Chain A
Amino acid sequence: MHYTFDIEKGNFTNAGNASGSVKKTLKQLNVDPSSIKRIVVALYEAEINAVAHAYGGKIDIDIDGDKIVMVVADQGPGIPNIELAMTEGYSTASQKVREMGFGAGMGLPNMKKNTDKLDIQTELGVGTTITMTVFLKN
């Protein structure tokens, strides 16, 4: 199964649409609740990050028998220092993002915690592609 969602800069109303849709699909597929929570939390963190930092982008979700692969690709400023960005508490979030309850520097570390594989490709001034894989337990 393949699903695609658009990312719109600064649109916090729609941030979470992809995660919410994936959650419903995984429930219908009888995926165990603990795996669903890991998947949707990781994807939601990625959605929030993309909406907060990027100029736009796309989310591609692929679900097959034993795994889900989530690719969040944005056009944006890129991440200057991935090691620093992976540090809990490090954040470059705007005041608006903080007012929404985020921007505490937990996003990328939480994506890593909740996925089996996390790959980050980034280029300054071009964008960032985050690929997250979770193996499913049915």
Chain B
Amino acid sequence: MKAKEIAELLNGKIVGCQDSQEELTNAFSSDLMSDVLRLGGECSLLITGLCNIQTIRTAEMAMINTIVLARGKTADEEMIEHAIDNDITIIETEFSIFKASGILYNHGIKPMY
């Protein structure tokens, strides 16, 4: 699934990289970046309510190319710039982490574990 399709399913808005054609297959939902950094294997999508520069940094180090910011959180300029520099797509949605995760799971996005 592409980032654009995920944004549509979550009634969300893409900020940062607009033209990502990456195929997103699996996801991890967490507000705890320490847990994200412990993920083994490849993860394409992070669903989180944590909204600061370290959210983007964590995705950068964990090789995650798309972040869903849930609960109506919005990325600031610094986050967006850093995401663009690192080819990371940000999707903002009003949905909760639970709702966003459930919708994406129902549409075939696999869990990490």
Give residues in A with beta carbon < 8 Å to B.
12-13, 15-16, 19-20, 23, 33, 36-37, 40-41, 44-45, 48, 100-107, 110, 113
Looking at B19-27, B55-63, B93-101, the stretch in contact with chain A turns out to be B55-63
**How many B residues touch A, CB cutoff 8 Å?**
21
* A-contact 0/1 string along B34-50, CB 8 Å cutoff: 11111000000000001
How far, in whole Å, are A101 and B54 apart by their CA atoms in the complex?
8
The smallest C-beta distance from B57 to any residue of chain A, in angstroms, reads: 4
Interface residues of chain B: helix, strand, loop or mixed (majority): helix
Contacts of A45 in B (CB 8 A): 37
Partner of B61, one of A23, A33, A105: A23
Contact B32 A44 (CB under 8 A): no
| Distance from B72 Cβ to chain A, minimum over Cβ atoms (Å) | 18
In the complex, are the beta carbons of B38 and A106 less than 8 A apart?
A: yes
In the assembled complex, the Cα of A35 lies from the Cα of B50 at a distance in Å of 27
B86 within 8 A of A: yes
Structural contact, A37 and B62, CB atoms closer than 8 A = yes
Residues of chain B with a CB closer than 8 A to A40's CB: 60-61
Query: Is chain A's interface secondary structure helix, strand, loop, or mixed overall?
Result: helix
Contact of B34 among A16, A106, A113 (CB under 8 A): A106
Flag whether B33 is at the interface (Cβ < 8 A).
Answer: yes
Of the residues B50, B57, B63, contact of A16 by C-beta under 8 Å: B57
**B52 at interface (Cβ–Cβ under 8 A)?**
yes
With contact pairs A45-B37, A110-B37 given, residues A13 and B60 touching in the complex (Cβ less than 8 Å): no
Which residues of chain A come closer than 8 Å to B38, judged between CB atoms? 106, 110, 113
Residues of B within 8 A of A (CB): 31-38, 50, 52-55, 57-58, 60-63, 78, 86
Known contacts A20-B86, A100-B33, A101-B34; is-contact A41 B61 (Cβ 8 Å): yes
Q: How far is the CA of A113 from the CA of B78 in the complex (A)?
A: 31
Q: Which residues of A contact B58 (CB under 8 A)?
A: 44, 101
A-chain residues with CB within 8 Å of residue B55 when the two chains form the complex: 101
Instruction: Collect the chain B residues with CB atoms within 8 Å of residue A33's CB.
Output: 63
Q: What would 11 A/B residue contacts be, using CB atoms closer than 8 Å? A: A12-B52, A16-B57, A33-B63, A45-B37, A101-B32, A101-B58, A102-B34, A104-B32, A105-B34, A106-B37, A106-B38
- List 18 additional A-B contacts (Cβ < 8 Å) besides A13-B53, A40-B61, A110-B34: A15-B54, A15-B57, A16-B54, A19-B60, A20-B86, A23-B61, A33-B63, A37-B61, A41-B37, A44-B37, A45-B37, A48-B54, A100-B33, A101-B31, A101-B50, A101-B55, A105-B34, A106-B34
